[in-house]
Amino acid sequence: MEENDIYNLPIEPVEKWLVPENINLPVVAGPCSAENFEQMISVAEGLSKIPNVVAFRCGLWKPRTRPGGFEGVGEVAFPWIKEIKERFGLKVCVEVATPKHVEQCLKAGVDFFWIGARTTGNPFCINDLCEAVKGTNIPVLIKNPIGPDLKLWIGTVERFYNAGCKRIVGVHRGFISYQSGIYRNDPCWEALFEMQREFPTLPLFCDPSHITGDRKLLREVSQKALDFNFSGLMLEVHPDPDRAFTDKNQQITPPELKALLDKLAIKEIESNVISGFLNVQKSS
Ligand code: PEP
Ligand code: MN
């Protein structure tokens, strides 16, 4: 495949498999980590009342930067996920980083996967994951790698596409920066704008939780993402954020998520990322 062909991959638009017609801002929301049954049911119940929430996210295996922290409950959470799907009719999305995670999640009826920033940056891991998903056409949300290397991110998209996954979403979670600023991970909007322009078939969601690392900044970053015509948001939500086992400073409660979404200025429903991009061009 020529390099330029990559940017025209016929990836299935999210409207075909994830986003109902009446939703103009789809949100994937849920706790950073699954902690226990009560926490999971409580947050899922709250989220099920917010129409924008098109899927529930939860981390079962947490990739911690340094050892010693909470590394997730693992497969213990599968019965909780089953109950959430049955009781609230939510689709559930889990981070996978090894072929074993993939195998376990497929068996447990997890609806789709996300690939974490630490995994996207490792082509060896991605090749193993692609081997494990072959033949399933399971949707995959792919976070950008930790460092600002768009080619590495695109390479991961391409590898999953070649493995038969046609339902792919890129998730922008910001890039690590050596200099400390107000954000946990630098959003680098210009690069992402360029990415939309060059790769218009890839739907892009924004993850303001991991960009900001701070719940006070979620609203401004979410608005910025909408202004840049991102197709949706991924946000971390917890029933009691201050007591969360991971990423507590950036999580909000379900009512806080509702209030945040109510305050965002959302544009008309866009048929796809390309038309959104053209609108930005016209108005600038
Ligand atoms: C997460 O979504 O909880 C996570 C670990 O994200 P990232 O891979 O973007 O750091
Ligand atoms: Mn997190």
- 231 versus 195: the higher-pLDDT residue is 231
Residue 13 has a pLDDT of 95
Does residue 277 have a pLDDT over 70?
A: no
Decide if pLDDT at 249 tops 80.
yes
pLDDT of residue 178: 85
Closest residue by Cα to atom 6, ligand 1, is 116
Average pLDDT of the chain is 92
What pTM does this model have? 0.93
DSSP codes joined into one string, 67-89: TTS----GGGGHHHHHHHHHHH-
Residue 157 has pLDDT above 60, yes or no: yes
Ligand 1 atom closest to the Cα of residue 33 is: 3
In whole angstroms, give the CA distance from residue 32 to residue 7. 31
Ligand 1 atom at minimal distance to the Cα of residue 114: 2
Neighbour count for residue 89 (Cβ, 10 Å): 8
Per cent of the chain over pLDDT 70 is 93
Ligand 1 surroundings by CB, under 6 angstroms: 32, 59, 63, 116-118, 143, 173, 210
| Mean pLDDT value across residues 82-107 | 98
d(CA 74, CA 184): 26
The encoded tokens of residue 208 equal: 């303001």
What is the 116 CA–ligand 1 centroid distance (Å)? 5
Ligand 1 atom 10, closest CA: 117
Lowest mean pLDDT among 1-5, 48-52, 152-156: 1-5
Half-sphere exposure of 270 (CA within 13 A, CB side): 24
Q: In the structure, what pLDDT confidence band is assigned to residue 6 with cuts at 50, 70 and 90? A: confident
Count of CB atoms within 10 A of residue 253's CB? 17
**What pLDDT is stored for residue 210 in this prediction?**
98
The DSSP element (H or E) to which 140 belongs, if any, is strand 140-143
**Ligand 2 center to residue 229 CA distance, Å?**
23
How far, in Å, are 62, 118, 240, 245, 247 from residue 69 at the CA level? 9, 16, 19, 9, 11
Task: Find the range with the poorest average confidence among 135-139, 157-161, 257-261, 275-279.
Answer: 275-279
pLDDT band at 1 (very low <50, low <70, confident <90, very high): low
Q: Which ligand has the shortest distance to the CA of 117? A: 1
> 118 C-alpha vs ligand 1 centroid, how far in Å?
8
Specify the DSSP class assigned to residue 185.
S
